[in-house]
């Protein structure tokens, strides 16, 4: 990863995509001290910084110094074409971890309090007591132990839930986790068997495609599966079989392999499943501004931004 500093960055044009709102553009201009332009106003050979949601093919050139994505996920950007050699890619996370953590906790507590069942009873005008379940003392296994996964684990842990993180390399447990296990080991299989909830915050990379398949779903013993990462990390046929077989009790899917899901998508017919419209961690304008400013400050001080993406690994 190359960090554009000094001369090239100081003379680079600031370009923004049409998806970036006027209030954000004004803040970007304030931070960089230069006016923002559109893609048709960059001169030949002129270096530029681009802020947006997608990177047009015409801008995938060596003149691109830095692309700041207004989204957290970068898999679509990297799969859309060859990434320009030497160009920095950063992403927006902002308070997304908090939003996603609240989403996960909300569904955990709703299940403990039988919210869906009470709602159904209300619709039938039926009075019947339903038992509640304590979240404290139960186990959540969280796949993905970066900023978002750690925030999810931290909020669950604050409610007394035991949190186990699953990672690809040995390391000490990050903040929010009681302990770590290695992906693909007997330890992970044991953790999945103990889990009351399994939460995925995984990005989509070559190694996470269909990561959750028959082996992992079979290892679960009635856990609820919550996916707030990427839809294509799940083998949907294997999830369907696990839901029918009972190794997965319920599924809460904020993401799907194909989005938006049309009325004929088989995902809508999965048993014991709730689908939400990729809304657990919607990026706010202030997130874009705050994270861009942090990246700009790091670059002007000669440092690599904390939000930089390794374009070879995909995260």
Q: Measured between alpha carbons, how far is 292 from 86 in angstroms, rounded to an integer?
A: 19
> Active site includes 171?
no
> Active site includes 63?
no
143, 162, 230, 240: the catalytic one is 230
Distance of CA 285 to the CA centre of its chain: 17
> Active site includes 259?
yes
DSSP string, 107-148: HHHHHHTTHHHHHHHHHTT----------TT-EEEEE--SHH
68, 162, 250, 278: the catalytic one is 278
Residue 23 token pair: 């209030």
46, 117, 133, 259: the catalytic one is 259
Alpha helices in the chain (DSSP H): 6-10, 22-32, 75-79, 96-112, 115-123, 147-158, 186-194, 214-219, 236-245, 285-300
Q: Measured between alpha carbons, how far is 10 from 299 in angstroms, rounded to an integer?
A: 11
Pick left, alpha or beta for residue 314 (phi over 0 → left; psi -120 to 50 → alpha; otherwise beta).
left
- The H-or-E segment that residue 273 falls in is strand 273-275
- Tell me how far apart the 2 most distant CA atoms of the chain are, in Å: 72
Q: What is the CA angle 142-147-150, rounded to 5?
A: 35
Q: Are 160 and 184 in contact (CB under 8 A)?
A: no
Active site residues: 230, 259, 278
């Amino acid at each position: 990863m190359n960090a554009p500093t000094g001369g090239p960055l100081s003379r680079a044009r600031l370009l923004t995509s049409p998806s970036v709102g006027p209030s954000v553009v004004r803040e970007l201009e304030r931070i960089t001290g230069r006016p923002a332009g559109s893609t048709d106003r960059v001169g030949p050979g002129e270096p530029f910084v681009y802020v947006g949601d997608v990177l047009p093919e015409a801008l995938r050139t060596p003149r691109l110094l830095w692309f700041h994505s207004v989204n957290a996920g970068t898999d679509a950007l990297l799969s859309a074409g060859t990434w320009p050699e030497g160009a920095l890619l950063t992403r927006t996370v902002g308070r997304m971890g908090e939003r996603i953590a609240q989403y996960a906790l909300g569904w955990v507590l709703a299940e403990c309090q039988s919210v869906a069942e009470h709602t159904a009873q209300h619709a039938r005008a039926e009075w019947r007591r339903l038992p509640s379940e304590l979240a404290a003392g139960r186990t959540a296994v969280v796949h993905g132990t970066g900023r978002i996964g750690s925030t999810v684990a931290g909020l669950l842990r604050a409610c007394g839930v035991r949190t186990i993180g699953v990672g690809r390399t040995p390391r000490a447990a990050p903040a929010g986790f009681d302990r770590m296990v290695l992906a693909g080991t007997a330890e992970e299989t044991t953790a999945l068997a103990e889990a009351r909830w399994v939460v995925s915050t995984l990005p989509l990379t070559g190694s996470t495609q269909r990561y959750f398949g028959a082996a992992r779903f079979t290892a679960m013993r009635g856990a609820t599966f919550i996916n707030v990462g990427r839809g294509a990390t799940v083998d949907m046929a294997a999830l369907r079989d696990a839901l029918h077989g009972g190794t997965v009790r319920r599924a809460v899917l904020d993401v799907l392999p194909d989005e938006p899901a049309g009325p004929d998508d088989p995902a809508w017919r999965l048993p014991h499943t709730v689908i939400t419209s990729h809304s657990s961690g919607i990026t706010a304008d202030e997130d874009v501004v705050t994270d861009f400013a942090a990246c700009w400050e790091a670059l002007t001080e000669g440092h690599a931004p904390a939000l930089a993406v390794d374009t070879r690994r995909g995260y």
